[in-house]
Amino acid sequence: MSQETKYAQLAARVTASLDLRQPPVAICFTDSIPAGMSGHAGRVPAGCRFWQDATSTAFATSASDHTLCAIGVYTHNLQPSPPQQIDLMDALKVFAELSYVREEDMASIPVLQSQPRYVLYSPLVDSPMPPDVVVLFVSANQTLILSEATQQVENQTPPAMGRPACAVIPQVMNTGRAALSLGCCGARAYLDVLGDDVAIFAIPGAKLEAYAQHIEALSKANAVLSRFHHIRLRDIGAGQTPTIKESLAALELSGQD
């Protein structure tokens, strides 16, 4: 199976199982740009905006594409320019004054351990190389299934991270483990797809196939168990006192209708 076919199939499986509203996004860190891959067109106010743009097209970025996002340059350990360094210090000063990010908070914000020259973004179906991180835009119900998948794949509960949203990428890269980001006020301003009911779930690319398998199984299990619980709710609400065996029998009968 070709790489293109593999990631197209994985994207389709994850999208269908979770009923995603946005395509999965692939992020690759590299020191060279694949032949035929063009750079990002236009400016963005923050690096997280690349996630949204990558739901529809593939492109390569370097530190210069992050000119207006000193925070993203910091978390992704890109080579900063002098103006970006000034912007970072100015931002951190305001954050500290607001008690938003205090000096003692900085150690808990992940920073990419490596220093790549380029970051490639694309829909997962068009990933030019094996993705390092796969980003999903998810609802609470979809996050439920993903958190259950994380328990099975990684024997852990994924951390729920806050500001800055972009820190979820180095978190996953540095640990090799999935993470949930609740976003930040900046990302929610810059990304149209990041509505109040949407969060970001990031999966290590090396584990994507295992995740797809468990997501499929858990999605089906959740659908069955949801019907089971609704049947019990209905019957108990009607004054009955069903045993689990009786509710299971009612579930089986409902499937025959």
Q: Which domain holds residue 24?
A: 3-219
| Integer Cα distance of 137 and 166 in angstroms | 13
CA 99 to chain centroid, in Å, comes to 27
How many structural domains comprise the chain? 1
Q: Is 251 exposed, middle or buried (0-12, 13-18, 19+ CB in 10 A)?
A: middle
In a domain, 162, yes or no: yes
In a domain, 230, yes or no: no
What is the number of alpha carbons within 13 Å of residue 158 lying toward its C-beta?
Answer: 28
In a domain, 250, yes or no: no
In a domain, 179, yes or no: yes
| Tens-digit pLDDT string for the chain (257 aa) | 577 678 889 999 999 999 999 999 999 999 999 988 988 888 888 889 999 999 999 999 988 888 888 888 888 888 878 888 888 888 888 888 887 778 887 888 899 998 888 999 999 998 989 999 999 999 999 999 999 999 999 999 999 999 999 999 999 999 999 999 999 999 999 999 999 999 999 999 999 999 999 999 999 999 999 999 999 999 999 999 999 998 999 998 887 65
In a domain, 30, yes or no: yes
In a domain, 249, yes or no: no
In a domain, 78, yes or no: yes
Helices (H), the chain: 3-18, 49-53, 70-75, 82-97, 140-154, 168-175, 185-190, 208-237, 244-254
In a domain, 236, yes or no: no
